[in-house]
């Protein structure tokens, strides 16, 4: 496993606007092979838009996106073959069993017919759903649905797994379960993971490196420890006592985004879409 190795994703000057809204506004970002990279930021920061450009679901109107060396604007099929994507919205069908849901993705992603049954079983086992595989997904808890969607993305054995807010709306125990399965799969396969979240505490605990995104751009980048220690050092240089507790990632974010963060984070549309997502897994 090459933790400091080759680049999995590289974005330079990526921009994407919806009318007047500059959702992504000059994003520079490199995700290294085999790391768990967290793209963090409040609702409306531009995380989903950036990710949809990387997955080729949105065009790249300005700047450049490369996935394992393939240009996302010019070589879309090559990029798509390399990645698994778990969107923020529901992607599992309540009327199918867990196994049927994963089998559907195996077909869509061209897993060879002879290998399908075995690969579907492996993906379900990897997320702890072997015993529940033949129940309707509609009977699953929120955490199980999210793990099923993880299995759907894993069945094609992607080199890059992209997850958009994988733990939104879940209770703390279910959240931990989702993260533990993500990490176990990464450890077993060396797969690169790019995950968005607005839960800073989770990123601190589970991501190798994080990028803090605000108004369409990366404002700080590093390991969680580097970012927290950096702010701690700046505060001490400004006269804070040594006995002050180490800042959290949330503190780092507030330091970057300023006091207007609460008022600026997202608009009605963001609130509505977040709530809708939260409700469907509740």
Ligand X SMILES: Nc1ncnc2c1ncn2[C@@H]1O[C@H](COP(=O)(O)OP(=O)(O)O)[C@@H](O)[C@H]1O
Choice from 34, 49, 156, 197 touching ligand X (CB under 6 A): 49
For the bound state, the minimum distance from the C-beta of residue 196 to Mg ion, rounded and expressed in Å, comes to 6
Residues near 49 by Cβ (< 8 Å), separated by ≥ 6?
Answer: 16, 18, 23, 24, 58, 216
With CB cut-offs between 5 and 8 Å by kind, which of Mg ion, ligand X, none does residue 46 bind?
Answer: ligand X
Residue 43 touches ligand X, criterion: CB under 6 A: yes
Choice from 9, 14, 23, 185 touching ligand X (CB under 6 A): 23
Which of these segments, 25-33, 43-51, 93-101, 221-229, binds ligand X (CB under 6 A)?
43-51
Choice from 46, 84, 166, 232 touching ligand X (CB under 6 A): 46
| Helices 98-108 and 113-126, packing angle to 10 deg | 130
Tell me the CB-side half-sphere exposure of residue 206, using CA atoms within 13 A: 27
Separation of alpha carbons 254 and 228, rounded Å? 12
Choice from 34, 36, 38, 48 touching Mg ion (CB under 5 A): 48
Separation of alpha carbons 187 and 265, rounded Å? 34
Burial environment of residue 34 by CB neighbours within 10 A (0 to 12, 13 to 18, 19 or more): buried
Residue 264 touches ligand X, criterion: CB under 6 A: no
Residue 41 touches ligand X, criterion: CB under 6 A: yes
Separation of alpha carbons 209 and 203, rounded Å? 9
Choice from 11, 33, 40, 48 touching ligand X (CB under 6 A): 48
Torsions phi, psi of 219, nearest 5?
Answer: -105, -20
Residue 177 touches ligand X, criterion: CB under 6 A: no
Residue found under tokens 């780092």: 252
For the bound state, the minimum distance from the C-beta of residue 280 to ligand X, rounded and expressed in Å, comes to 17
Nearer CB in complex with Mg ion: 47/217:
47
Nearer CB in complex with ligand X: 3/269:
269
With CB cut-offs between 5 and 8 Å by kind, which of ligand X, Mg ion, none does residue 34 bind?
Answer: none
- Secondary structure (DSSP) of 160-192: EEEEESTTTT--HHHHHHHHHHHHHHHHHH--E
Residue 269 touches ligand X, criterion: CB under 6 A: yes
Residues lying near ligand X in the complex (CB under 6 A) are found at: 18, 21, 23, 41, 43-49, 267, 269-270
């Amino acid at each position: 496993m090459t933790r400091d190795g080759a680049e999995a994703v590289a974005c330079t000057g990526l921009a994407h606007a919806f009318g007047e809204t500059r959702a992504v506004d000059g994003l520079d970002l490199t995700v290294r092979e085999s790391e768990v990279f967290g793209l963090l930021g409040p609702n409306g920061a531009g995380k989903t838009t950036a990710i949809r450009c990387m997955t080729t679901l949105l065009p790249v109107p300005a700047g450049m996106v490369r996935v394992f060396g393939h240009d996302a604007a010019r070589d879309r099929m090559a990029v798509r073959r390399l990645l698994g994507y778990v969107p923020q919205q529901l992607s599992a069908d309540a009327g199918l069993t867990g196994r049927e849901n994963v089998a559907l993705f195996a077909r869509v992603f061209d897993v060879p017919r002879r290998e399908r049954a075995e690969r579907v079983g492996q993906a379900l086992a990897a997320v702890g759903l072997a015993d529940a595989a033949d129940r309707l997904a509609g009977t699953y808890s929120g955490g199980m649905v999210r793990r099923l969607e993880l299995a759907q993305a894993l069945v094609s054995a992607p080199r890059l797994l992209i997850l958009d807010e994988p733990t939104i709306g879940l209770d703390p125990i279910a959240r931990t379960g989702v993260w533990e399965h993500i990490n176990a799969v990464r450890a077993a396969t060396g797969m690169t993971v790019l995950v968005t979240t607005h839960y800073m505490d989770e990123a601190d605990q589970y991501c190798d490196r994080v990028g803090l995104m605000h108004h369409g751009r990366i404002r700080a980048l590093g390991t969680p420890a580097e970012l927290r220690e950096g702010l701690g050092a700046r505060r001490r240089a400004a006269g804070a006592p040594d006995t002050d507790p180490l800042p959290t990632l949330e503190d780092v974010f507030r330091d970057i985004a300023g006091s207007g963060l609460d008022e600026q984070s997202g608009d009605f549309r963001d609130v509505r879409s977040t709530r809708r997502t939260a409700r469907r897994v509740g």
